[in-house]
Chains A and B, each alone.
Chain A
Amino acid sequence: MDWECVIGLEVHVQLRTQSKIFSGASTAYGAAPNTQACAVDIGLPGVLPVMNREAALMAARFGIAVDATIHPVSVFARKNYFYPDLPKGYQISQFEIPIVEGGHLDIETPEGSKTIRITRAHLEEDAGKSLHEDFHGFTGIDLNRAGTPLLEIVSEPDLSSPEEAVAYLKKLHGLVKALKICDGNMQEGSFRCDANVSVRPKGESKLGTRTELKNINSFRFVEQAINFEIDRQTTLLEEGGRVIQETRLYDPDKNTTRPMRSKEEAHDYRYFPDPDLPPLTISEEEIRSLRESMPELPDARYQRLVRDYGLTEDEASQLTQDLEWADFFESLVTAADGESRLSVNWLLGDLASALNREGLAISECPVSTQQLGALLKRIKDGTISGKIAKKIFATVWENGSDIDTIIEREGLTQITDHNAIEAAVDTVIASFPAQADQVRSGEEKVIGFLVGQVMKATAGKANPKGVNDIVRKKLLG
């Protein structure tokens, strides 16, 4: 039987506020355990939550970006359950009336553009962390994260492959970063995803029983986890079994999912409106002013890169997945006196692979747009060859000095003197008569060998295209 899968994602986006959603404590990551948890975060008797307005405005910005309804009045509710890293015994969240409802995000698929509906996005506080290592039979609790503002973005089950799920996540990731409401750091848990996955016979309209996959904190793991789960469910059903609705934990080390304790499934969260917090209101005026101050979003940026710089759709799409790349690109073009073609080739080529090799983000790039721009200008004006440029790039990457200084110091200026190149070509032809004869008798592919020898003799400083022309002229007339 042919099967198809249905996927919906719940993404927890950590909002980039200075302080927590209901207290004045800092949200900075990485501090010593429990040093950024105040009386409110710890849930001491008598303390009360006070809404951080900034978090609400960030949520509204997201709502505007995905064309959703922003409820003028939304309500905080308590989600009651006991857990050691949940200090109050309840999490303040939004239940019946979330701040953002509806909306959509469009993704690119091999079959073209596809609209993924967003069900809702609601504000809530994060819990702390349980630390199971180094406590010799005990569990440590770090409440630094408790009270960090989260926007939980829930999609409709509109995704029909792991690839689509990843495309949606990447799009969402780029969007919240572009909106400057999330730093997008997945290692630090600023952008986390749970996936609801089910399978059904192809063509069937009724949804199959779903499982919820938790703990997926990279794009790669999302794809792997969903793939594993689709296989697991399909095999189960084909063998006449039944999928149980449950929460499963993804284990990236083993690339499997396993059920979480069923007890945790039996939760009745007993939601009710939090009496400590009045309903959250957002005025039309505020929404209007947010709308007016929206930054350029990835889709608009994409259009503009294609239109203004003549980039291919694929290039524009690569640069707008994370707008820091687009920013880098535009700044590079300026530094390179408008050389957009050369800029995009270098950015997505040498620079991207160097970053990838070192595992660095574009924001951590050791070569500045000024430096790279200067290098591209020297290629453009013929001072250096592309090959030499790669060498210089590597030097700058390692030692970060001035491009022109390196060119001068290392004597890397391209040989543009026609006579000098001709002399070098003559020497090579004389040294490799057999190969020269091959070329003369029509084996053109041997030209490359001779050009290579000339380049070697000139330490790469000759212009390869010029060398090629001279070799051809001399041997083929």
Chain B
Amino acid sequence: MIEPVSIEKLQRAYKPTKKPELMAEQNLWVRYNVEHPLTKDRPRKFLEAFAAILKHYPSYRLALEHYIRVSAKCSRCTVQCQIFQATGDTEDIPCKRSELLLNVYRRHFTPGGMIRGRIFGDAGLTDETIQKMSDTFWNCTACRRCSNECPMGIDHGLIAHLTRYILSEIDIAPRALVVSTREQLEGKTQNTSAIPLPALLDTLEFLEEEMESDKGRAIKFPLEVENCEFVFFPAVSDFLMEADTLMGNAAVFAATGDSWTIGKRYYDGINYGLFYSDRMWARIVKRVDAETRRLKGGKIVIGECGHASRAAKYGLPMFCGGENALPVINCMEYAWEMLEKGRLQLDANVITEGVTYHDPCNIARQGWIVDKPREILRSFCRNYIEMTPNRRDNICCGGGGGTVSIDEVRPYRTLVSGAAKAEQLRRTGAKYVVAPCANCKKQLREVVEDNGLDCEVVGLHDLIYKAIIFE
């Protein structure tokens, strides 16, 4: 449990960043920017989209039917939700938020609800509810911590995921995510950061020179090599912002000698579809699949990025061939395996400062990658400090669910949704906060800056790069 944040901070966090005229014109009072939201006839269009999705996604119908039957309104999720604890606003209770969509489902898609609606003259879904959903489901960081605490097993993250998908079909979605996805799927550069290929090549060349002068040996970023064991897809923003992480990735491959490559046609692991649209999730994952197959690669390695890893790990088998889909691993799993086999050696005398580990929700919540990075860190960091709660119960960085990419909501992210994390970081007293996720890194750096903390946010491979020993 954390203390609610001060009223002064709340005012700063919720200060409107958009012009009221624009919001009135768009008929949408939300803090994130929206391109061209539907302004008229929204309830009908929302229900049409909802119906289409229910028709083609039986899993959503299964979940909603189950949830409306068992939801017991016990309020246990309140002790897990870092947003509700920070704001104290009952609208932020996960179960209350989910009820918005469950109500629409009950009223419009169950026989009982439709009959009751007729009898009591309930008009059903209104514009106000859509307005409320557009606002509140984007306050949620989709960390799914509440789903661990629900005795009825309700996954509020799934409901947030679905609601955002439906909303995106009536063109209500953060502009930041939509524009990036458009560039990735239809733009010239084919990646979310709009990095043109020549710029990428320059960057990689520069990094190779840097590594040569650091480590005294040639470490390459192999491009366009066919038949490699691994095809590497980092969050593309790493090429701009996380050079040390990438150099760590390259160094690990150089030390083990395994064949790996980065494709020239498509080199972005980011998948904002996971945050706002299943349609986009599938389309983006297919790009990763196609590029790996074009290069005749054996496995897909995702860089240090939680959502990219989850989107590929679960998306590849789902959208690209089930059991025959290409295997997906995260680069930390690879590093761990190499360390276990003795093919990766790390100097235990390099990192002497306090190091703590932040679990990215998208790889930790389901218990996928929790112990491996810890084992790597413990093997060479003398002063490893665990933060609590951790692993599957970790606290979200506060920028989950794509909100970190929405720059206009930064005060909300760092002062409200990131308040619990800020407090947790402060308590560890560690110098290095290892956050193996492009989104967590960006968010945590902003949290550190806006909350006046004294620590440095790094990737796991940043530290590996410092400590790696070449034979």
Interaction A to B:
no
Chain A contact residues, CB within 8 Å of chain B: none
Which residues of chain B have a CB within 8 Å of any CB of chain A? none
